[in-house]
Amino acid sequence: MKLLLQRLAALPAAAVLIAATHTGARVGFVNIDEAVALHPWHALLVRYDREIAALRETLALNPSSQARRAAQSVAAQTRTASRVATAANAASRDRARERAALASVLASRRPGDEMSAYGAQLVRETQATLASFQQAIAAREQRAYEARAQQFREKESTTAFDLAQADGGQRLQLRLKLQDLHLDARRRATISARLAALDATEQRKVDAQRAADAAALRSYRDALQREGEAAIAKMAAQLRAKAAANLAIRRRALAAEATADAALPDVRAKVASFESSYRPGIPGTVAASLRSAGGDISARLGELGAADQGSQRETAAQIDALQAQRAALYRAIVAQIAATADRLARAQGLRAVELGTRAAPASVDLTRAVGTRLARY
């Protein structure tokens, strides 16, 4: 392909006004846009435009968007961890409220009602904490899955582009042969079959890559789900164990209080024992877990951002190369149009030929004639 473009670019460059040797009064005109559209290689220009547009669409998925998503994810995790940490900082106030509740129990002698209320409160707190943790794990899994799916889509696009580039020269030769108006039906069918077989081979390779990526993506999703379920199960077990321990301590304290109506100081000592053994560490554990999850998400999306930056640079380089090749092909097409128009002008005794988009008054339109002559090449 590069050799072909170099040879085409060596043709005489087109000028806005091409002088002929005749001294006639008339001037020829060629609509350059229509002539380029009639040129046999116009389809290759369109293909270049499509490939460049497809690559530019991939640039919309830039590393800055990944960085923003990473920042948003970490910020969300930080806010959640801060809320849980606030709950941990409020532990002293909770203990004060518990002491007041225990004092009320001692005064009212209704341990059954107090135990039911405390048990319901523990259940609500445990469920709320676990639900928040589950949401954080689900969000992390979704972001990781979407990032991996994007990587696979980019790889498939790269595979399709590489195949098209590798077969571009052969495909161009076949299409140029099909432009020959003197081909018989059998030869034309043979060339068309070879072109279709080339397209089918590329499509099979792309489909194979897509199927392999889909299988890998399913496996990755299953692994993420297993990791998430394991983390949730572990956190649930820890939360329930803490709640059960707290409930058992409260039950023992109230049982001791119920059997020691005559020994109030002893009941107070049991209450003090309960307070000293109570450790509200669950919020701190959850906060640390959420901070760790946020760091994991930030690290993974940071790695993805670095990979995306490399992909962006490669894509930009490919776009520049395609644009340079497209520009060289366009110049060669215009040069060939100019040379053909000059020959037609000489044959018709025209003074000069103008290339442009608007014809001068009384000029002779040579656009269709140039297109017909070019179609013979």
Tens-binned pLDDT, residue by residue, of the chain (377 aa): 444 444 444 444 333 344 443 444 589 999 999 989 988 888 888 998 998 998 888 776 555 555 566 556 656 666 766 665 665 566 556 556 656 655 654 554 455 677 788 888 888 888 899 899 889 999 988 998 888 889 888 888 888 888 888 877 888 888 887 787 677 888 888 888 888 888 888 889 888 888 988 998 899 999 988 988 998 998 888 888 888 888 888 788 777 766 655 555 555 565 565 455 555 555 556 556 656 655 665 666 566 566 567 778 888 888 999 999 999 989 999 999 999 989 999 988 888 898 998 888 888 998 998 988 888 76
* Structure letter (DSSP) for residue 18: E
CA 319 to chain centre: 19
Q: Is the dihedral of CA 164, 167, 168, 173 positive or negative?
A: negative
Q: What's the rounded Cα separation, in Å, for the pair 110 and 112?
A: 6
Place of tokens 């394991």: 230
End-to-end CA distance of the chain: 18
pLDDT of residue 107: 53
Q: What's the total number of domains in the chain?
A: 1
Q: What's the rounded Cα separation, in Å, for the pair 69 and 88?
A: 29
Q: Which structural domain range is residue 121 located in?
A: 2-374
The two structure tokens encoding residue 196: 């279709």
The two structure tokens encoding residue 27: 């001037």
pLDDT of residue 246: 83
pLDDT of residue 61: 57
Cβ atoms 114, 101 nearer than 8 A: yes
Q: What is the pLDDT of residues 292-327, one digit of tens each?
A: 655 665 666 566 566 567 778 888 888 999 999 999
CA 249 to chain centre: 52
DSSP state letters, 58-103: HHTS-HHHHHHHHHHHHHHHHHHHHHHHHHHHTHHHHHHHHHHHHH
pLDDT of residue 295: 63
Q: What is the pLDDT of residues 217-248, one digit of tens each?
A: 899 999 988 988 998 998 888 888 888 888 88
pTM value is 0.36
Compute φ and ψ for 206, nearest 5 degrees: -65, -40
Q: What's the rounded Cα separation, in Å, for the pair 150 and 57?
A: 13
